[in-house]
């Protein structure tokens, strides 16, 4: 690994994105997080996440091609790792999903992922960097879960986007992989665990190892992919879900 590698994490101010940025900083990556927070709030969050190497913040809406181009494609210096983490999820039964919610979910989770990955790859090619695109997918891309059809569809699309990018970009020495978390105590899942007893009971039964995992455990998986140990991996999905995708015996 180069002495001063650089990384960008979209959605890097959130629970999972923040844990990933912190892990990369610990590994020596100079890391830029992007999100939609005001600059002062984003800079404060970046300071919290800084460990070994500096974490910086830039505002960027990943659904905006203009924002993504300015911050990622035309950013300063070489780019070695891009973590595509920005996302949104809304819990609605299939029959109640509103078209605007469906469109917004796919716009953020799939179109946003495409724009960020494309911008990062273009920058890597322009700078002759054999970089790595790491997508944050989900176990529900492969296994249905109630009330998040839009989210599940967007993550299934992300997986195929990742595989196609891995195939096409291999000629440039650029790799693409994904981490597929299960039920993580972060974001909407954490809120539902804390406020909806029925959800907590259902989710707990869906985890063979017994309990949801942490954002830090997802960050550990990303850290592995960003390390020399994963140098021969491309087009792969690393599932980190405490066994949820296996189903249960009951």
Q: How many helices (H) and strands (E) does the chain have?
A: 9, 7
Residue tagged active-site, from 29, 57, 59, 151: 151
Q: Which residues of 165-179 are buried (b: 16+ CB within 10 A; e: fewer)?
A: bbeebeeeebbbbbb
Average pLDDT over residues 120-134: 98
pLDDT score recorded for residue 1? 60
Considering the four listed CATH numbers 3.40.605.10, 3.30.365.10, 3.40.50.720, 3.30.379.10, the one that applies to the domain covering 6-183+214-237 is 3.40.50.720
What band does 193 get if pLDDT is binned at 50, 70 and 90? confident
Q: Structure pTM?
A: 0.95
**Residue 138, C-beta contacts closer than 8 angstroms, at least 6 positions apart:** 151, 152, 155, 180, 181
Q: How far apart are CA 207 and CA 85, in angstroms?
A: 23
Can 59 be counted among the known catalytic residues?
no
- Gyration radius of the chain over CA positions: 17
Place of tokens 């059809």: 149
* Residue 82 CB neighbour total at 10 angstroms: 27
Kindly tell me if the per-residue pLDDT of 250 is higher than 70.
no
Q: How far apart are CA 16 and CA 21, in angstroms?
A: 9
pLDDT tens digits for range 10-32: 999 999 999 999 999 999 999 99
Q: Is 245 helix (H, G, I), strand (E, B) or coil?
A: helix
Q: Is 86 helix (H, G, I), strand (E, B) or coil?
A: coil
pLDDT tens digits for range 149-163: 999 999 999 999 999
Q: How far apart are CA 73 and CA 58, in angstroms?
A: 13
């Amino acid at each position: 690994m180069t002495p001063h590698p650089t990384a960008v994490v979209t959605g890097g101010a959130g629970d999972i994105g923040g844990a990933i940025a912190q892990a990369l900083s610990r590994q020596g990556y100079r890391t830029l997080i992007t999100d939609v927070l005001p600059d002062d709030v984003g800079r404060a969050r970046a300071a919290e996440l800084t460990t070994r190497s500096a974490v910086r913040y830039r505002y960027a809406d990943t659904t905006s091609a203009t924002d993504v181009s300015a911050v990622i494609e035309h950013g300063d210096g070489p780019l070695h790792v891009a973590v595509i983490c920005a996302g949104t999820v809304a819990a609605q039964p299939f029959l109640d999903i509103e078209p605007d919610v469906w469109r917004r979910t796919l716009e953020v989770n799939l179109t946003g992922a495409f724009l960020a990955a494309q911008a990062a790859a273009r920058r890597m090619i322009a700078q002759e960097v054999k970089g790595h695109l790491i997508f944050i997918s989900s176990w529900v891309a492969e296994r249905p879960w109630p009330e998040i059809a839009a989210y599940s569809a967007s993550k299934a699309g992300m997986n195929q986007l990742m595989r196609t990018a891995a195939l096409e970009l291999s000629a440039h020495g650029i790799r693409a992989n994904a981490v597929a978390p299960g039920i993580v105590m972060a974001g909407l899942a954490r809120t539902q665990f804390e406020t909806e007893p029925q959800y907590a009971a259902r989710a707990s039964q869906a985890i063979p190892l017994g309990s949801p995992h942490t954002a830090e455990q997802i960050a550990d998986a990303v850290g592995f992919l960003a390390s020399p140990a994963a140098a021969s991996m491309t087009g792969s999905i690393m599932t980190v879900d405490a066994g949820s995708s296996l189903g249960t015996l009951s």
